[in-house]
Amino acid sequence: MFVAVSPHRPRRGFTLIELLVVIAIIAILIGLLLPAVQKIREAANRMKSSNNLKQLGLAAHNAADTNVECLPPVYIEFWVNPAAGHMYAGPYVGNTGTAFFFLLPFMEQDNLYRQAPPSQTNHTIYDNQVHTKMLKTLQGPNDPTASFQIYGWGVSSYATNYQVFGYPNHPWGWAWGCMGATRLATIQDGTSNTILYAEKRAGCQGFPNPSGGTLWAHGWWNADWMATFGNTDIYGGYSGTTAVPNTGAFVVPQVQPTNQNCERHRATAFTASGCLVGMCDGSVRNVRPSVDPVAWTAAMTPNGGEVLPSSW
C-alpha cells in the first residue's frame, strides 16, 4: 500500500511592496510618537530648570539671613571701601566676585567657595581657578550652550536682575551701582511681584567660539569687557543713572535666538512655552514671550510702585 506524500511547498516571503508598506507604517508611528516624546522631555527639562531657580532663590534668602538681610552685589572688588561712600556691601567687603560667587556656600558649594578665601589681593574669585568650574545648578537643561566653557570660564543659564542685585540709581553712575547690595525688606513692590533671576542663554554670538556669554564668575561692568565676555546680570539701558524703558532687561524675553541675534543682556525663553523666572519670594513662574512689555518692566523693577496684572 502506497501513502501519497504531498510535495514540500516553499514558504512564501514578503513582497517588496509589503515590506515598503510595513516600513511606511512604522515611519508614520514614529512620526506621531516623536512630538509626544519631545514634549515629555521638554517638560522634564523645564521642571529641572524650575528646581534650579528654586535652589537659587533659597540660596539668596539664606545669604540674606546670614548677612544682615543683605543680598550679595552683582559684582564687587576687594578694594571697595563702603566708608568712602561707594556702597553698602556689609560682609561682602574684601572679596572680588559676583552674586553667584557669594551664593556658593548656600547652594552646596561651600568647598568651592573656600578655595577663593577673602583677602586683600587681586581677584579672589580667580584664586585656584574657581571661575572655571561648571556648576550643575547653573546649567539650564534646555539651553544648548550651557555645557561648554567660554574662554575657559564656567557659564550660567541664569542671570540676576540688576535692578535687585545692583544699585541702578547710584549717584556715582551705573558702574558703581554694580557694586550695590539690597535688603529684601526694601523691595517696596513686594517680593512676589519682583523678578530675582531669569533664564538667559549661556553662550552668544558665534558659540562655541563666542564674542559674549553669561559667565557666572564674571561681573565686570566695563562696556569693552562686556562686549568680549558678557556677564551674569540682565539690565536695561541707562541714561546717566536713570533706567531707560524698553531696552535690555526691559525688553520681554526672546525665544531661543540664533547666535547672530542673541542679545547678551536680555532674558531668554528656551522653548516656545516661555521663560522661567525666579521671584524674590522664592517662587518660580513661567513668563510667555507674549507678555505685556509694561507688565514685564514692572516685574523687573523692585520699587517702581506698579501693580502687576493677575495674568502677567
Q: Which domain holds residue 282?
A: 41-300
Quote the number of domains for the chain: 1
Please name which of 197, 236, 215 lies closest in space to residue 145, comparing C-alpha atoms: 215
Interatomic CA distance for residues 36 and 246, integer angstroms: 37
Residue 193 belongs to a domain:
yes
The reported pLDDT for the residue numbered 229 is 44
User: Which band of pLDDT confidence, cut at 50, 70 and 90, is reported for residue 241?
Assistant: very low
In a domain? residue 6: no
Q: What is the pLDDT of residues 269-307, one digit of tens each?
A: 998 899 999 999 999 999 998 899 889 988 988 888 888
Report yes or no on 27 lying in a domain.
no
The pLDDT of residue 86 is 45
Instruction: Tell me phi and psi for residue 65, to 5 degrees.
Output: -65, -35
pLDDT at 243 over 70: no
Q: Has residue 34 been placed in a domain?
A: no
Convert the pLDDT of each residue in 171-230 to its tens digit: 665 555 566 668 888 899 999 999 999 999 888 876 666 666 788 887 654 433 333 444
pTM: 0.80
Amino acid at 55: Q
Provide the pLDDT for residue 140: 95
What pLDDT sits at residue 227? Answer: 39
Contacts of residue 20, Cβ cutoff 8 Å, sequence gap at least 6: none
Residue 111 has pLDDT above 60, yes or no: yes
Position with higher pLDDT, 82 vs 148 = 148
User: What does the pLDDT read at residue 174?
Assistant: 53
- Sorting pLDDT into bands at 50, 70 and 90, what band is 45? very high
Bigger pLDDT: 274 vs 168 = 274
Q: What radius of gyration, in Å, describes the C-alpha atoms of the chain?
A: 26
- Please tell me which residue, 57 or 170, carries the higher pLDDT value: 57
What is the residue whose three cell numbers read 528656551? Answer: 270
231 belongs to a structural domain: yes
- Which of the residue ranges 46-50, 131-135, 156-160, 258-262 would you say has the lowest mean pLDDT? 258-262
Peptide bond into 35 cis (omega under 30): no
- For residue 128, being part of any structural domain is answered with yes
Contact 259, 204 (CB under 8 A): yes
Is residue 35 situated within a structural domain? no
Q: Which three cell numbers stand for residue 223?
A: 562696556
User: Is 270 inside any structural domain?
Assistant: yes
Cβ atoms within 10 Å, residue 190: 13
Per the structure block, which three cell numbers stand in for 277? 523666572
